Amino acid sequence: MAASDTERAQQQIDEIEALSSIYGDDWCVVDEDEKIYCIKISDCLDQPKWTLCLQVILPPGYPTAEPPIYQLNAPWLRGQDYTELANSLEEIYLQNLGESILYLWVEKIREVLVEKAQSSDPEPDIKKTTEEVDEDDGDDFLLDYQPTQEDQTKMLNYMTSESHEDEELPPIHHGNPITDRRSTFQAHLAPVVTTRQVSR
């Protein structure tokens, strides 16, 4: 027999109260009416070096008929790391269909962060250069692009030139497309210094 909307709503309330009690200040209500919540998860060390923010939206059908809608946020989380973690969360959902799973998700993420902290992984490097990013797996968004020397020279020449009418367009860098749940995303970046460059 399917759970009623009232039963599902009560299950959500019970789960949120439990998570709030367990995680304290790390649990945050973003929008109670829209059922949007956020939790900061770390690797449990006294001075954690691996942290991640899990944001979830609980749809009306959760937990019996719909999974939570989630977003994983961390400056170091991209490419294969993101894919592996997302797959783990979806696997937990499938193994526990109809159950409240947020606690399992949080602890799985914490387990991954602890493994990173205990392994030989260096501390998160959130300032990769474009050269380093190009060597990575193909799913990177190039979100933390750092201008190359050539780009900086072009910007300097632009700022010091007297006539801007015939200046070249700034170099545009294109990230690799990434597909997630039938949506495709691609980042495009360009170092600009004036509104005219933005328009062009």
Q: Is residue 55 part of a domain?
A: yes
Phi-psi label, residue 41: left if phi above 0, alpha if psi -120 to 50, beta otherwise: beta
Q: Is residue 164 part of a domain?
A: no
Give the mean pLDDT of 14-20. 93
Phi-psi label, residue 79: left if phi above 0, alpha if psi -120 to 50, beta otherwise: left
Comparison of pLDDT for 85 and 151, the residue scoring more: 85
State pTM to two decimals.
Answer: 0.58
Q: Is residue 176 part of a domain?
A: no
Q: For the domain that residue 57 is a member of, what is the CATH number?
A: 3.10.110.10
pLDDT for the residue numbered 156: 53
pLDDT for the residue numbered 154: 53
Dump pLDDT digits (tens) for 102-150. 999 999 999 999 988 888 667 666 555 444 444 445 444 444 444 555 5
Q: How many structural domains are present in the chain?
A: 1
Q: Is residue 56 part of a domain?
A: yes
pLDDT for the residue numbered 133: 46
- Which residues, in sequence order, are CB contacts of 172 under 8 Å at separation 6+? 188, 189, 190
Percent of the chain with pLDDT over 70: 69
Q: Is residue 59 part of a domain?
A: yes
Give the mean pLDDT of 95-107. 94
Q: Is residue 126 part of a domain?
A: no
Mean of pLDDT over the chain: 78
Q: Which amino acid is at 94?
A: L
Q: Is residue 95 part of a domain?
A: yes
Range of the domain at 75: 25-117
pLDDT for the residue numbered 59: 93
In this structure, are residues 39 and 29 in contact, taking their beta carbons and an 8 Å threshold? Answer: no
DSSP H or E run through 20: helix 5-23
Give the mean pLDDT of 57-66. 91
